[in-house]
Every structure is written in structure tokens, then in C-alpha cells.
Structure 1
Amino acid sequence: MSDRIHASYWLETPDNPARAAEVIAGEQSSGTFLALANETPELKARCGARVERLELLDVVDQPSLPGRYKPGVRFQRARLELSWSVENMGLSLPNVMATIAGNLFELQCVSGLRITDLRLPVAFAQACPGPAFGIAGTRRLAGVAQGPLIGTIIKPSVGLNPEQTAAEVRQLLAGGIDFIKDDELQADGPHCPFDERARAVMREVNAAAERLGRKPMVAFNLTGDLDEMKRRHDLVLSLGGTCVMVSLNSVGLVGLRELRRHSQLPIHAHRNGWGYLSRHPALGWDYAPWHTLWRLAGADHLHVNGLGNKFSESDAEVAAAAQAVLKPLWADAPMAAMPVFSSGQTGLVAAATHQVAGGTDLIFAAGGGIFGHPGGVAQGVTALRQAWDAAVAGVDLQAHAARHPELKAALGFW
């Protein structure tokens, strides 16, 4: 196993690709735009980034990104792999990110750059233990030994007061839901303060647990300053809650890492803002390398969008994201996290989702797909579960609906 950090990129450049690769490697390690006396061969050998691979692809006439380019220049594309000694930054996730995704994208010799892969030494498994609960712990706390966790998001996302929120939760619990989450927009506003909302919701959850013999999981959005997040976590824990939620791009790697150190509950990690990191194909991140850092930092659940979603990602991109979350990071340190499928989800994609995930170790969250059922919320939950029963059994959805009225009614509005 290498003791170096390896990152791969899709590169587009108006320069000679080999020269551009060396510029990028120098910018992100020992070099500067001038050769300096103290940048000795020994220092570069010890701490300089290495160009491990450069595979030339096609040439195009127009750049993918705006910049200052000479008239008439053409743009060469390539696959590039760089590596760094872990001694440059230590076993530090924020500094890994600063190294592999720092001052690269704005270089003049770059007209397009996207991170496509990241491989870290196994020493990171000891320094950053990753999810504390993952799939097994989530199933245990939610009382769902088999099948997907059928979930939903409280809607409207904002505007409900604590008691109205609790009333929504009560309907969902009566319908047999497994998992409920705050929307990422619902935090600690004056119309729905976090503390009051948590108390009202957990009153319903604890009462339902007495009836059901299991406790449905609620992910409370505690995104905020670090001290606020710790205090909110402690309140949820004291009320008998079993999950907390955080917006990754809002709190950063340090925020998630410190919450992981403090938390005694699974951390539901929301990726809101993912589009600005990924949507342009010539800029930003693929999901697999991006999620690796957050998984190491302690995310137990990671959003991957959903098949047939309302956003811009293709089904192939969603499938790749889910499979990345389920894939072991190292053979002897799998750090299993649970993918979360959401965004316009209905039972129509249950079978395809089952196939993509290779099983049911997932959270399947539907908002309108549940709340829009003509028979009400409870029938919406039942219909979604029936669709998944059909998917797992390999039964045709229409044939299954003929014997299940809740599913049959759902097919009319899904």
C-alpha cells in the first residue's frame, strides 16, 4: 500500500500537457513560478508532487472555462494523476483538501479541471475512523433489520411551528415510517426554534415507540456554530433521539470532524450545494473523491440524489454516487456508510434503485411521493413500502398493485 496521496484529474489546457502537469504539481507542493535556490533536488524528491500518469485525450478549439488565452490556441485534454507524500500535510483531511483541490482550478494553464479519483494511505483509517454507526448502527437504532429505511422530509420545509411539525410527524409515525428528517432549510428560526421543535417531535416519537416496539429515526438539523451543534446534539440525545443532521458544505470538514468526536448519535450528512461543486463537467469534483473526505470525517448517511430526480444529474451519476458510498475505502477498513436516495422519489423507481444499490442498505426518502397520496399520509407510506416489497421480490409493480389498493392508488399520482 502506497504511503502517498493519489488524486486523478480530467485536465484541459492551452499549454503543453506535460508542462501544465508539472506546473500543477509544483503549485500544489514545493514549486513556485520561479526556480528558487532552496528548492533543491533533494527537497523536490522528498516533498514535491509527482506526475504519476498523463494520458492524452482529444484536442478542441474552444476552452471549457473562461480565461486569458492566446488567439488561435487549441486545447488539449488529458487524464492526469498526481501524488504527494503524506508528510507534506500529515493525516489531516482539511489539508488534504487544500492540496488536491487548492490553487489548481484558477491557473492560467488550466482551461478545465475536474477531480475524478482520490486514494489515501490506510493510515487515514486510524487517524479518521469514519462513521461511528453506519449501516449496522442505523438499522439497530431504527429497529429496521431488513429492507430499505422508508423515509421522508418534513414539508413545508419552513413555516410550520413546533406543534404543526409534531402533528406532521404524528401522521407519519401512524403510517409506519422508518425515517424522518428536517429539511436543510429548517434550523433554528424564531417561528420554529430548534429546542421547542425537538421536544415536540420527540414527544410524538417516544409515544409511538411505546406502541410500535421500535423507535423511528428522526434526523434533526443542528447545523450551526460548533458550540450550537454540540448543545443541540446533547438536547436530542437527552430527549431519546437517535439521529442528527448537518449540512456538510455549511459546516466544513472541521465542523463535521469535531461533531463526530462529540456525537453519540448517527450523523445524517446533507450535501446541499453539491451542484456548485460538480455541475459543470469541466470543473470541480466527481462524487467518489468528494465523498471520501466526508465519509472519513464521520458521515454515517450520505445523500446521493435519486433516480429520475428533479435535479440535473443523470441516473448513471446517481448510481455511481451510491456505489461509491457502499464501496469499502480499504479492504480492512470498510467504514460502511448508508446512501440516501431523495429528490422527487416515488415507488416507480424502487426496482431500479434496488438494482443500483445491489440491495436494500439505503434510506429511500420521498416527500410528495408520500404526502401527495389521495388516501392520506399513512397510505402514502404504505404504498411506498409495497413498491419496495415488489422490488425486492422481483415482482412486476403493476401486478403487485392489483393486490394492494394503496399502491394502486399511488400509481395514479406518481
Structure 2
Amino acid sequence: MANTSCLLVTYEIKASAGKTIQEMADDICIEQTVEVVKQLAQDKWIQENIIGRVEGISQTGDNIFSVIISYPDEITAYQLPQLLSVLYGNISLKSGIKLIGIEFSDSFLSHFSGPGFGIDGLRRLLNVENRPLLATALKPMGKTPEELAGLAYKLALGGIDIIKDDHGLVDHSFCPFKERVQCCLSAINKAEEETGKRVLYFPNITDTHEKLIDHAERGKEMGVGGFLISPLIVGLDIMRYLADNLGLPIMAHPALMGTLFHGISTEIVLGDLMRLAGADMVIYPNYGGRFPFTEKICQETGYALKKKMGGLKTAFPVPAGGIDIKNIKSLKQFYGNDVVFLIGSSLYVCSSNLTASVKDCIQHLSAYC
């Protein structure tokens, strides 16, 4: 296995008293692989083929260092759970260490299918070639399936591209999954017959493992357009499994992901990992909204979703969280055409005519192309 392909992983480390930065880097190499004291890791084959290796150290600030460590691809077993363990498993329990960059080998990436549809595939499904896509969520929680279906009909009649469940909608007694999906699909199909415009409906399948799999299978049978899932809540590899086996687009919701950002760069969590796990669209907070995301973070995340990653398809950035439809022109200039704008409350409250509001928004998106 010597001279095999490797992951090149960059950590930002704050040096601590009592250890040199070289010692801290060497500790990470051991901790993230064999996890034993050095005298128990003297086997030459293990040293050459298993243990991480420090490739470079540079000082970037006051007591702050950038450390590059290589890990043999093979120790990840080419699977997401073990990859996460190698990248940041045990050291997530330590302070002063942040994962800020990963360079994947093409050999490693070839073991992952990634997004099943990606940007181009979703555009083909919707027959929308050259403008940003428009999406919204059915809300609020507490409405009946029939009430949500009424909203879905008005939205679809206006020509919206994607309607998703709010991420808080699960299999509630007051809004059961099967009934909600049936009602919303009927409403959307009715609108499609009237307009000729395809609309994709993404019900939320974030739930217990048993229900999640059942809802995915039932949803596919009923004819949904794709699924919304919160991968950090149910498990990243669950999303990968669904993407690989269902044959429908996946939209990833960022619920609970904020717990990772102190230790892993946002663009890795929302970009690299989401694409590896098969997300076709990734929701994240837009700058200037109710979450503390900056323009820089949004730009870096968008880049991570579209950059070259072996043969993996690109994924749509889906900025959300307080987007005002009055700002569509400037947002379009910032994100470009390959973006899905997820607009919630602003779309619902801008006028008493929801269908007209959607039409107006689509018109503006088309005009700015």
C-alpha cells in the first residue's frame, strides 16, 4: 500500500503551552488513525500505510498554524462514516483544532456516486434552462393536509419550480405524511394540467429510521418529485443511501449543522460532504438574513457545491432564511443563474394573491438573466 493515493487534509491549529506545533501535528496523525502511544505504533507497515503523515506546517497568525496531514485513502474504507472518523473523529473532542480543507484524490472520489441529478439534471426535469430556480416551503406547522394542499395549488398555479415541506413537518397526528403527500400531489397535478408547467414536490422524510425508509418508498410510489432530508439529524450516510438507491433528487436541509461549524469549515460541511453524500440541492442561510452567514461564507459554499470533484455532479446552492423578494435582482447578481432561491415568508406576505406573487417573482428572475 505504500505510495498509495491520499487525502490531503488541512487543519488550523492554535498552539498550546507545553507542546510544539510539530508535536501537536504528530499527535493528530496518531490520534486519527491507530490511537495508541507511539511505542505501540512501531510496526513499519503500519507506519507507512496507516498512520497519517505531516506534509507541511506554516504559521498564519499569532500562535495559529496551518498544518497539512496526508491520510492513505484506504483507511477510510471509502465510506462516509469512517471518512468522518478519520478527518475529525477524536480530535473534535479537543480544543484549538479546526478542519479547514480537504483535497480528495480522483481515486477516492471514484468510490462515490454523488448527486444523482445535479444542476443539469434538475434543469432537465423542470425544463428550465437559463434562470435561477424558485422554491418555497409549505408552512406553518399546524395546518392540515388540505390547507397545505391549498397553498401548494396556488404556488404551482403561479409556476413555481419546487415546493418542499417545511423541515418541521413530519408524520404528525394532525398532518400525517401519507395524507399530506396525497393531498399536495393532487393539488400540484391539477395546477400542472392547467398551466403545463412541471412542479417538483419534495416532502420531508426526516424521521425515525423505519419511518424514513417507508416514507421514501411510499413517496416514490405516489409520484413525488424528490425528498427533503436533514442529513445531520438522521445521519449523513442515510442520505447517501437514499441518493444511491431511490432514483429521485435529494434536497439537504442544514438543521443541526451549525453544531459543526466551530470545528469544520462551513464550505466543507455544506459543500464537500453534502456532494459526497448525494445531495442535489443544499439549503443554507443567505447573508443578511436572520442567521449570521456572511457574503464570504455564502460565496465559498456556493463554490464548493460547483467546483470540480472528480466525476461528481455539481449541486445547486439553495440560499434561504429571510430572503426578501425585493432583493432578487441583487441576489441574482451575487449568485448567478445556477442557484435555487428558497423564499418563504416574504413570498407569502408580499400580497394577498399568492399565485400572482409567484408569477411576479418568476418574471423578475427571468428578466435578470
TM-score (normalizing by structure 2): 0.93
Q: Deviations over 1:372-391 (max 9, x none)?
A: 11342123213322432443
- For 2:276, which of 296, 309, 324 is the aligned residue? 296
Q: Deviations over 1:155-202 (max 9, x none)?
A: 21x101110110111121222211111111111111000000000000
For the pair 1:9 / 2:37, whether they are aligned, the reply is no
Q: Deviations over 1:348-407 (max 9, x none)?
A: 4333433333x3122111112210113421232133224324432xxxxxxxxxxxxxxx
Partner of 2:83: 96
Q: Take 2:206 and 2:35, find their aligned partners in 1: how far apart are those partners?
A: 38
Task: Report deviation, 1:22.
Answer: 0.7
Q: Take 1:356 and 1:284, find their aligned partners in 2: how far apart are those partners?
A: 27
- CA gap 1:129/1:43 in 2 versus in 1, 3 angstroms: same
For the pair 1:30 / 2:26, whether they are aligned, the reply is no
- For 2:124, which of 140, 145, 152 is the aligned residue? 140
Alignment length, in residue pairs?
Answer: 364
Structural mapping, 1:50-199, within 5 Å: 50-59=53-62, 76-107=63-94, 111-156=95-140, 158-199=141-182
Task: Report deviation, 1:334.
Answer: 4.0
Identify the range of structure 1 (181-190 vs 88-97) with the bigger mean alpha-carbon deviation.
Answer: 88-97
Identify the range of structure 1 (159-168 vs 119-128) with the bigger mean alpha-carbon deviation.
Answer: 119-128
For the pair 1:370 / 2:357, whether they are aligned, the reply is no
Task: Report deviation, 1:93.
Answer: 1.6
In structure 2, what residue type is equivalent to 1:18?
A: Q
- CA gap 1:29/1:234 in 2 versus in 1, 3 angstroms: closer
For the pair 1:235 / 2:237, whether they are aligned, the reply is no
Q: Take 1:349 and 1:316, find their aligned partners in 2: how far apart are those partners?
A: 18
Identity of aligned residues (%): 26
Q: Take 1:386 and 1:328, find their aligned partners in 2: how far apart are those partners?
A: 32
In structure 2, what residue type is equivalent to 1:288?
A: E
Q: Take 2:70 and 2:200, find their aligned partners in 1: how far apart are those partners?
A: 41
For the residue of structure 2 that corresponds to 1:313, the secondary structure is coil
Partner of 2:263: 284
Q: Take 1:212 and 1:238, find their aligned partners in 2: how far apart are those partners?
A: 24
Superposed CA RMSD in Å reads 1.9
Q: Take 1:2 and 1:188, find their aligned partners in 2: how far apart are those partners?
A: 47
- For 1:315, which of 295, 302, 320 is the aligned residue? 295
For the residue of structure 2 that corresponds to 1:221, the secondary structure is coil
Q: Take 1:294 and 1:154, find their aligned partners in 2: how far apart are those partners?
A: 23
For the residue of structure 1 that corresponds to 2:172, the secondary structure is coil
Task: Report deviation, 1:260.
Answer: 1.8
TM-score (normalizing by structure 1): 0.83
Task: Report deviation, 1:114.
Answer: 1.4
Unaligned runs of 5+ in 1: 60-75, 393-414
Q: Take 2:190 and 2:92, find their aligned partners in 1: how far apart are those partners?
A: 52
For the pair 1:203 / 2:181, whether they are aligned, the reply is no
Q: Take 2:303 and 2:194, find their aligned partners in 1: how far apart are those partners?
A: 36
Q: Deviations over 1:125-167 (max 9, x none)?
A: 33211111111221222232331111111121x1011101101
In structure 2, what residue type is equivalent to 1:141?
A: L
In structure 1, what residue type is equivalent to 2:33?
A: S
Q: Take 2:197 and 2:159, find their aligned partners in 1: how far apart are those partners?
A: 11
- The answer as to whether partners of 1:148 and 1:361 remain within 8 angstroms in 2 is yes
- CA gap 1:58/1:126 in 2 versus in 1, 3 angstroms: closer
Q: Take 2:49 and 2:157, find their aligned partners in 1: how far apart are those partners?
A: 62
Task: Report deviation, 1:2.
Answer: 7.2
- The answer as to whether partners of 1:230 and 1:262 remain within 8 angstroms in 2 is no
- The answer as to whether partners of 1:323 and 1:356 remain within 8 angstroms in 2 is no
Task: Report deviation, 1:322.
Answer: 1.1
- CA gap 1:184/1:2 in 2 versus in 1, 3 angstroms: farther
